[in-house]
Amino acid sequence: MPILVTALLLVVLFVITLTVAAYSTYGERKVAAFLQDRIGPNRAGPFGLLQPLADGAKMFMKEDFVPKTANRKLFFLGPAIAMTTALLTGVVIPWGGTLTIGDLRIPLQGTDPEIGILYVFAMVSIGVYGIMLGGWASNNKFALLGAIRAASQMVSYELAMGLSIVALVMVTGTLSMNGIVQYQIEHGWGVLHQPLGFLLFLVCAFAETNRAPFDMPECETELVGGYHTEFSSMKLGFYLFAEYVNMFISSAVMATLYFGGYHVPGLAGTGWDPNLITLLGTAAMFAKTFFFIFFFMWIRWTLPRFRFDQLMNLGWKGLIPLAILNLLLTGGWAFIQPRLFP
């Protein structure tokens, strides 16, 4: 029975992830339109709400073209890896507390391994292969340059991201995603303990998801379309879609690690039905996640793109030293605090 419940939960999570990603494309256009004082998509359905469906249908109808000089197997494998690794990450994110139906206790989380945060990190680090292999297999200069940029950018920013997570883990004392949320429920949200760490994580999340101002791998002013120049039809759709899935997942990770996840201050003391509190918590989790998705779009349509050398300078000479400083401060505080306030 619990296996069936988990399977059902994962299917629901899968559907929600895809829906959110699809409507993020709509949201992106509406946010862009709002920021540029335009109206945005409004033809397909009321307020243009059917636009993602129309886009998806259009993608399916396009010719699935494979260049003659491309490496066919890797050309197929690239988008598949990008999409798969993007979807795999959501499993360990705690989307809510525990629902109790009769005797059945259902935690709203796919699984809670004790190394949850490392799992997220591992999936992010595998995700770069989708872009690298796809870009290389296209046998196109622009695609190759995009792929190489993606690889060097992601490896560079993974370091600062990892160091900022290490500092957070030093505070919470656990690597489990749910454990981190539990710590925040007891001791206050992570952003209060790790303000600098949050800022570093936020910047690195932009770089890891290839979002502007760090969208160098697909910088259209320099590289035509970057790593997906040669891709068409649903293969291109997978790449674009994987980017939105990644954005959704990294927003959820930020909400979980630094903004209390499904925690709503003061809700536990109201004495309401526990199931209601769990559902409200899940709603809060999604609200926090959607805020970060909006933040991603806000930044994209506000800041111009970096140059590639600026991006590398920021990563290696700016973020990594700051992350190490943050680590030292966190460690020093953990050492001094019990001695100052016993």
Partner 1 sequence: MQFLFYLFAAISVISAVFVVSAKSPINSVIALIVCFLSIAGHYILLNAQFLAMVHIIVYTGAIMVLFLFVIMLLNLNKSAEPVKTLATRIAAVIAGGVFLLTLLAAVRHGLDITPARDFDGGVGLVRSVGLSLFNEFLLPFEVSSILFLSAMVGALMLAKKEPAASAGTSPAAPAEKRVA
| Strands 104-107 and 98-101, bridge-based pairing | antiparallel
State the minimum distance, in angstroms, from the CB of residue 77 to partner 1. Answer: 8
Residues 6 or more apart in contact with residue 53 via CB below 8 angstroms: 22, 44
DSSP state of 261: T
Partners of 106 in beta bridges: 99
Please say which residue, 51 or 164, places its beta carbon nearer to partner 1. 164
108 burial type by CB count under 10 A (0-12 exposed, 13-18 middle, 19+ buried)? buried
Distance CA 96, CA 210 (A): 28
State the minimum distance, in angstroms, from the CB of residue 63 to partner 1. Answer: 27
Residue 128 binding partner 1, by CB under 8 A: yes
Please say which residue, 20 or 137, places its beta carbon nearer to partner 1. 137
Residue 151 binding partner 1, by CB under 8 A: yes
State the minimum distance, in angstroms, from the CB of residue 314 to partner 1. Answer: 16
Distance CA 85, CA 237 (A): 15
Residue 125 binding partner 1, by CB under 8 A: yes
- Kindly report whether the peptide bond that precedes residue 46 is cis, defined as omega within 30 degrees of 0: no
Residue 273 binding partner 1, by CB under 8 A: no
Binding mask 67-106 for partner 1 (x = CB under 8 A): ----x--x--------------------------------
Question: Which of these segments, 26-34, 111-119, 269-277, 298-306, binds partner 1 (CB under 8 A)?
Answer: 111-119
Residue numbers 291-330 binding partner 1 by CB under 8 A = 309
State the minimum distance, in angstroms, from the CB of residue 93 to partner 1. Answer: 16
Which residue is it, tokens 């370091």? 159
Please say which residue, 37 or 309, places its beta carbon nearer to partner 1. 309
Judged by DSSP in three states, 27 sits in helix
- Using the Cα atoms of residue 14, residue 12, residue 244 and residue 49 in order, give the sign of their dihedral: positive
Judged by DSSP in three states, 99 sits in strand
Distance CA 90, CA 93 (A): 5
Please say which residue, 144 or 167, places its beta carbon nearer to partner 1. 144
Residue numbers 15-44 binding partner 1 by CB under 8 A = none
Please say which residue, 64 or 114, places its beta carbon nearer to partner 1. 114
Residue 132 binding partner 1, by CB under 8 A: yes
Q: Cβ distance 240 to 58 under 8 Å? A: no
State the minimum distance, in angstroms, from the CB of residue 171 to partner 1. Answer: 16
Residue 121 binding partner 1, by CB under 8 A: yes
Q: How would you label 49-80 residue by residue, b for 16+ Cβ within 10 Å and e otherwise?
A: eebbeebeeebeeeeeebbeebbeebbebbbe
Question: Which of these segments, 127-135, 248-256, 294-302, 314-322, binds partner 1 (CB under 8 A)?
Answer: 127-135
Which of 23, 26, 75, 136: binder of partner 1 (CB under 8 A)?
Answer: 136
State the minimum distance, in angstroms, from the CB of residue 307 to partner 1. Answer: 9
* DSSP letter for each residue of 40-92: ---SSSGGGTTHHHHHHHHHHHS-----TTS-HHHHHHHHHHHHHHHHHGGGG
Which of 133, 171, 181, 277: binder of partner 1 (CB under 8 A)?
Answer: 133
Please say which residue, 22 or 323, places its beta carbon nearer to partner 1. 323
State the minimum distance, in angstroms, from the CB of residue 303 to partner 1. Answer: 22
Residues that bind partner 1 (CB under 8 A): 71, 74, 113-115, 118-119, 121-122, 124-126, 128-129, 132-133, 136, 144, 147-148, 151-152, 154-155, 158, 162, 175, 309
